[in-house]
């Protein structure tokens, strides 16, 4: 049976170029030059009797694999590569602050309101149970925020990063993005203040006073625990990076 797949050379070249363009190691001038090379090479192979598809495959193969090229171009375009890294670090920091702040706020208050709702007597029970409960909820919240951030940046096809990257590529959306990010970063601290007033109304000042001590104990435990996770993750990534460099 004859296969009738028509090969669109310009589309293939465009796709090849877009693939490379995802890396900060290539400036658009570099891509213009590589594309010019690819087209020259394709033309040569076609004059030797190859069809467009074969010529494209061979030409692209001879230019080199994306990863190896990226590494070499990254050496001469170091600044661009570092700006890109810094950009994603800042994005990561802001996303993490918002996600962990929001989850911490919601889970902490939900626990308090939940206990109050079931008629828990904050005064007569010892502090130990409350410290354990708050620590448990905060640790779960911390793990949840880590998992959510991990998922956001590692989804199939990295849709979130692609979408964010594209949004911040367009100048027209900068003002909107600025306002959105500003509001998002304000929302957690503002809500923390706001919910305190609501909590006093809901559970009363006395009950709130009872949980201040256990809550600060639990926050000490949290502050002792979370750096271990972050430092552990850093060392884990350092090891992975070290291995990748040696390979």
Partner 1 sequence: MLSKELVAASTVPLVLSVLTQGESYGYELIQRVRELSGNRIEWTEGMLYPVLHWMEEEDLIESEWREAETGRKRKYYRLRKEGRKALQDEQQQWLTVHETLTKLWKPQPRLT
Binding residues for partner 1, rule: CB under 8 A, are 30, 32-34, 36-37, 39-41, 43, 62-64, 68-69, 72-73, 75-76
Shortest gap between Cβ of 1 and partner 1 (angstroms)?
37
Shortest gap between Cβ of 70 and partner 1 (angstroms)?
10
User: DSSP characters for the chain?
Assistant: ----PPP-HHHHHHHHHHHHHTSTT--HHHHHHHHHHHHHHHHHHHHTT--HHHHHHHHHHHH--HHHHHHHHHHHTHHHHHHHHHHHHHHHHHHHHHHHHHHHHHHHHHHHHHHHHTT--TTTS-HHHHHHHHHHHHHHHHHHHHHHHHHHHHSGGGHHHHHHHHHTT-GGGHHHHHHHHHHHHHHHHHHHHHHHHHHHHHH-HHHHHHHHHHHHHHHHHHHHHHHHHHHHHHHHHHHHHHHHHH-
Answer positive or negative: Cα dihedral of 162, 165, 171, 176: positive
- Cβ closer to partner 1: 34 or 55? 34
Answer positive or negative: Cα dihedral of 85, 89, 92, 94: negative
CA distance 191 to 102: 9
- Cβ closer to partner 1: 68 or 118? 68
- Cβ closer to partner 1: 76 or 176? 76
Shortest gap between Cβ of 54 and partner 1 (angstroms)?
17
- Cβ closer to partner 1: 69 or 139? 69
Shortest gap between Cβ of 35 and partner 1 (angstroms)?
9
- Cβ closer to partner 1: 74 or 165? 74
- Cβ closer to partner 1: 73 or 142? 73
Shortest gap between Cβ of 60 and partner 1 (angstroms)?
10
Shortest gap between Cβ of 29 and partner 1 (angstroms)?
8
User: Does residue 112 contact residue 211 with C-beta atoms inside 8 Å?
Assistant: yes
Structure tokens at 91: 């994005």
- Cβ closer to partner 1: 78 or 227? 78
Shortest gap between Cβ of 76 and partner 1 (angstroms)?
5
């Amino acid at each position: 049976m004859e296969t009738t797949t028509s090969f669109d050379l310009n589309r293939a070249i465009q796709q090849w170029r877009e693939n490379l363009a995802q890396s900060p190691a290539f400036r658009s001038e570099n891509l213009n030059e590589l594309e010019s090379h690819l087209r020259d090479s394709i033309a040569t192979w076609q004059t030797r009797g190859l069809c467009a598809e074969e010529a494209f495959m061979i030409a692209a193969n001879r230019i080199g694999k994306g990863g190896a090229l990226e590494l070499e171009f990254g050496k001469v375009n170091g600044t661009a590569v570092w700006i890109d890294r810094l950009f994603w670090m800042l994005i990561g920091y802001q996303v993490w602050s918002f996600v962990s702040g929001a989850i911490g706020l919601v889970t902490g208050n939900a626990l308090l309101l939940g206990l109050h709702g079931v008629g828990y007597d904050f005064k007569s029970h010892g502090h130990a149970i409350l410290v354990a409960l708050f620590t448990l909820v905060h640790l779960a919240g911390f793990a949840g925020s880590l998992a959510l951030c991990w998922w956001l940046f590692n989804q199939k096809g990295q849709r979130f990063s692609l979408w964010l990257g594209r949004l911040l590529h367009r100048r027209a959306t900068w003002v909107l993005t600025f306002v959105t990010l500003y509001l998002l970063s304000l929302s957690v601290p503002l809500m923390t203040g706001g919910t305190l007033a609501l909590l006093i109304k809901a559970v009363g000042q006395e009950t709130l006073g009872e949980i201040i001590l256990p809550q600060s104990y639990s926050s000490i435990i949290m502050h002792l625990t979370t750096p271990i996770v972050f430092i552990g993750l850093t060392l884990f990534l350092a090891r992975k990076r070290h291995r990748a460099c040696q390979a």
